[in-house]
Amino acid sequence: MMLRSRANEIPQLIRQLGSKNTAKVDAARARLTVLGPRAVEHLVGALEGGDQRVRERVMPLLALIRDPRGREPLIAMLHDRSPRLRGLAARCLARFPSADATCALQRLLAKEPEPRVRIACVRALVEQVHAGHEGALGLPMRILLDPEEPAVLRRCALGIVPALRPAQRRGILARLAADPSEEIRGAASEIEARPEPPGGDLQSLIHDLGADEYERWNQALRRFAAAGAEAVGPLVLAMRNRSHDPEFCTRAGMALKSLGPRRARALGEALEQVDEPLPLQVLVEVVGALGDKAMIYRLRDLIDRAARQAGPGRDADGFEPMRRVRAKAHLELARIGSRVAIDDLRRAIDDPEHRIELEMLAAVERTGNHEEIGPLLRAWVREEPFVRARIADAVRGILRREKLGVDAPVLRHLGDSERRVLEGMAPPATPEAGAPRTRRRTGGARRSAGSGRGPMLE
């Protein structure tokens, strides 16, 4: 019942984003950010709707949550007919430093006539540079050093200078000191005279991060992006101290994502030291969103540790908290196509003592093979209808990927009850016109010698 009510809650919250009542909109934003990755599919779906107000408010939420599933839909929004939405999509892509996002922003910038959209593209590329994605550096650098570019665009590109190595920074500022534009010369001089930015009062930022007012904690999130790697330790400690506060932990996770992969590599140490389930769940999501494969592969050790620590305690949903940690870690590994922890995933799915996590089903659908079909069929028997539908999707996905039918030789080990479940997931075979209907045999010779393939699951 909890799963169904949550599934109904998210669409209602997204509709609420279209309200003209600011309080209702802020409440919906706050709740959707707490739901985080669970809301992503619905948020992405809302981008295809016709309500521009909702689409404008959905894109920043995808940027806040930073789930990798949000990147491609935002790239698609760069082609929207509305300059306002194109510019907003560009700004939101700043939160997804990657080669795909960089190429999409560069392509848009090359053909975009609207000045405000071009500015948004340059700013997004600058933010990607600060997040550690050096592939985004080239175009802002070219714009910065080109006197023919508009001054407003060049001033935006100046934002890359603090991210440069000291020697490169000095060389660029020396070149800009002789620039034909007085405005650019003055701006470069201001940067050169500026002291190194301090880390800021991190404890004050952490306090604001827990505020009830949406604008206050959202502003703290933006300021964390400039705080640097030194913010990682205090943020993780604050999460541990408030480990029963899902909203604060979610916001802290957003702040960690804003640091980018280069600054947030200290998370690897946190994965080894944190024991509290909720902070661990958030840290796993952060590692996945940052996309550093070395860190993602370290989730295998976390899975092993979580499996050892799993105990009888369960939360209000009837789930074991450390099992959720394992599920989220499995999904992040699956997103990069890894099966390094597939044995644990198979055992977790086949565990009759616990309900199955939806992230586990998403993971096995991406990377599972015929060896996982038996455990999935046994899990189907003990689960409720909502989860059964997801299990069936996972089984169909595996069979499609491996091009297997229900009569494949690798599935002959299935018991009678498992085979009945599997056949119930398949559509009935449609005989050719004029052909007599025959009863399918359950043993002995199969449909055609050597084929090993029966009806395909669609």
Quick one: 7-193 is in which CATH superfamily?
Answer: Leucine-rich Repeat Variant (1.25.10.10)
> What letters, b where the CB count within 10 A reaches 16 and e where it falls short, cover 172-193?
bbeebeebeeeebeebbeeeee
- Residue-level length of the chain: 458
> pLDDT by residue (tens digit) across 284-317?
999 998 888 889 999 999 999 888 876 544 443 4
pLDDT band for 426, please (50, 70, 90 cuts).
low
How far, CA to CA in Å, does 380 sit from each of 63, 438, 441? 35, 28, 24
Q: What is the DSSP letter of 270?
A: H
What confidence category does residue 194 fall into, taking pLDDT thresholds of 50, 70 and 90? Answer: low
Quick check: 161 and 173 in contact, CB under 8 A? yes
pLDDT grade, residue 193 (50/70/90)?
Answer: confident
Tens digits of per-residue pLDDT, 91-101? 999 888 888 89
Q: Which fold has domain 236-425?
A: Leucine-rich Repeat Variant (1.25.10)
Q: Which residues contact 272 (CB under 8 A, 6 or more apart)?
A: 301
Distance CA 172, CA 170 (A): 6
d(CA 278, CA 253): 11
Task: List alpha helices for 112-245, DSSP H.
Answer: 115-130, 138-144, 151-157, 166-176, 182-193, 202-209, 214-224, 232-241
Residue 454 has a pLDDT of 42
Nearby residues of 124 by Cβ (< 8 Å), 6 or more positions away: 90, 91, 93, 94, 101, 105
Tens-digit pLDDT profile for residues 334-358: 999 999 999 999 999 999 888 888 8
Same fold, 7-193 and 236-425: yes
Annotated domain spans of the chain: 7-193, 236-425
